[in-house]
Structures are given as structure tokens and as C-alpha cells.
Amino acid sequence: MIPSLQSVAVPTAYQWLIKESKKTAASRQYSYLEIPSGVSISNSIVREIDYKTASTIILEYEWIGTMPLPKSCRYIYGIYFDDVLGGAIVYVEPSTRQYYKKYPRKVVQLNRGATEHWTPKNTASRLIGQSKKFLKEEGVKAIIAYCTQEAGEIGTIYQACNFDYIGITSPSKTYYLDNHWVSERTLADKIAWARNKSEAWQDKFRNLPMRMLTGKYKYILFIGSNREREEFYNEYGIISHPYPKREASDEQPILRTT
């Protein structure tokens, strides 16, 4: 049976639900860390980490349940508390190529991000804020981020980090491959890789189960100068809109797996 994880009248993000379930679990075995005591944002350290290290947290908490392809990853950072990893963030090449001609390698997409259930409330904001400083040193001018409605996301963390909300994307397709759902971009990369492989390999990527996702909320954070920001926004017709908000609801969060 192919799993389809969907939020039904959910006013709460998927990652929040996962964290709450872990907090209330009777016990949990950690193979790669021990929870530190006296955790505080003031003693946290953000630094660059590798793909494998980031995956220990991303695969556990992210709604999509996968890491991006290694070749697409530009920058990966982690936040540590007493040398214990509490969160990870992955920046990749943007899913669209519209920025590349005028701003080559100067725009990144915040593609994955998650924090452990035991971390302080502002851990995600700290991780984004500190990694933004590193990106600026690398010459990056803008960060693009998307929020998946099916995961109960509206971009609360991006709003807290002063991203601009710039609209909603068109609906997209995802495909079921190797026991999880992958994006059109990921599938296209795999099909391209298989072109010089055997027919059996090429068949692997044909006639896959497909599902539609509604449009995603799109955010941008410009980290250059005000003049550069104005030029960038004018170049691409970017307009900032009021932040989307959750609708008030008395219904309890439900996650349905079928």
C-alpha cells in the first residue's frame, strides 16, 4: 500500500506534531546523541556540518521524509548545544532557474530544516539567523523558501525571521519512488541519470504513482544592501504581501495515513 500523509483540518504544522509526540513518549532510544542538560540559546553554536550529519535530524522530523540530492546541496549548517546537534538546515540551488542568469550562485533555497523536540523555542530562528550571516560571507544575496500546505505549514518561522511573503506557487506533482514521495525536480534528475543506463533502470522511473500538491506559500529573505534589494525586486517583479495566517479552529490536529 502506498502511504499518503495528509493534514485534515490541521491548524498545526507537521513538525510540531512530531515534536509533541516525542515529548510525551514514555521512552526513546537515541543512537547518535544524549540530550544535554541546561539547554539554552545563549550557549548554542551554529556551524557547517556534512550531509550525513544533517540527515540524522532531517529524516526524522521533515514531512517529506527525505534529504535533497547531495549534488544539489550548497550549504548545510547545524546548531549545537554542548556539542550535541539540536537542529539542521540545508540550502540548495533554487528549484527554478529564473535567478541564475543575472544572479548566478547568489540565490539559495532553504530546502530542509528541522530541530529536535528538546531544543528551546527560538532554536529554528537562531539557526536561520546565524546561517544567514555565513551565507552573506559567501556572497549569497537572497534566500528562497517554500511552505507545503499539506504539512500544515504557513511559514511561521519565516515570518519570525522577517522573510517577505511573495505569494503562492502553482500546484505541483510528486511521485512515489523507493518507498517515499519525490518532487518533479528530483524525478527529472533521476531520469536524466538513467538515460545512459540499462532499460531496466529506465523502467524504474516510468509509470510511477503520482499525487498533486496544492500551491506552496513562497517566501524570500534578501541579505544584500537596500539598493540591491530594490534592484532585485524590480528585476523579478517581486511584491511583498501580508503574511498568511492560520484560521481559528476548535478542531484537534489530525494526521491521517492511508
> Nine-digit cell at 252?
484537534
| DSSP secondary structure string for all residues of 44-59 | EEEEE--HHHHHHHHH
Where is 60: in which H helix or E strand? helix 51-61
Give the pLDDT of residue 21. 58
- Residue 49 within any structural domain of the chain: yes
- Residue 208 within any structural domain of the chain: no
* Domain that includes residue 162, residue range: 5-171+214-247
Write the CB contacts of 152 (distance below 8 Å, at least 6 apart in sequence).
7, 10, 11, 12, 13, 14, 16, 17, 253
Q: Which of 68, 34, 65 is nearest to 51 (CA)?
A: 68
Give the pLDDT of residue 97. 84
Contact 67, 90 (CB under 8 A): yes
- Residue 193 within any structural domain of the chain: no
- Residue 126 within any structural domain of the chain: yes
**How far is the C-alpha of 14 from the C-alpha of 19, rounded, in Å?**
9
Task: Judge if pTM exceeds 0.75.
Answer: yes
- Residue 54 within any structural domain of the chain: yes
- Residue 11 within any structural domain of the chain: yes
Q: What is the number of domains present in the chain?
A: 1
- Residue 182 within any structural domain of the chain: no
Q: Which of 99, 95, 65, 59 is nearest to 185 (CA)?
A: 95
Give the pLDDT of residue 22. 57
CATH number at residue 113: 3.40.630.30
pLDDT in tens, the chain (258 residues): 554 444 433 445 555 455 555 554 534 444 444 677 778 999 899 999 999 999 999 998 877 778 888 988 999 999 999 889 999 999 999 978 889 889 999 999 999 999 998 999 899 999 999 999 999 999 999 999 999 887 788 999 999 999 999 999 888 788 888 877 777 777 888 888 888 888 888 888 888 888 888 889 999 999 999 999 999 999 999 999 999 998 754 333 333 222
- Residue 19 within any structural domain of the chain: yes
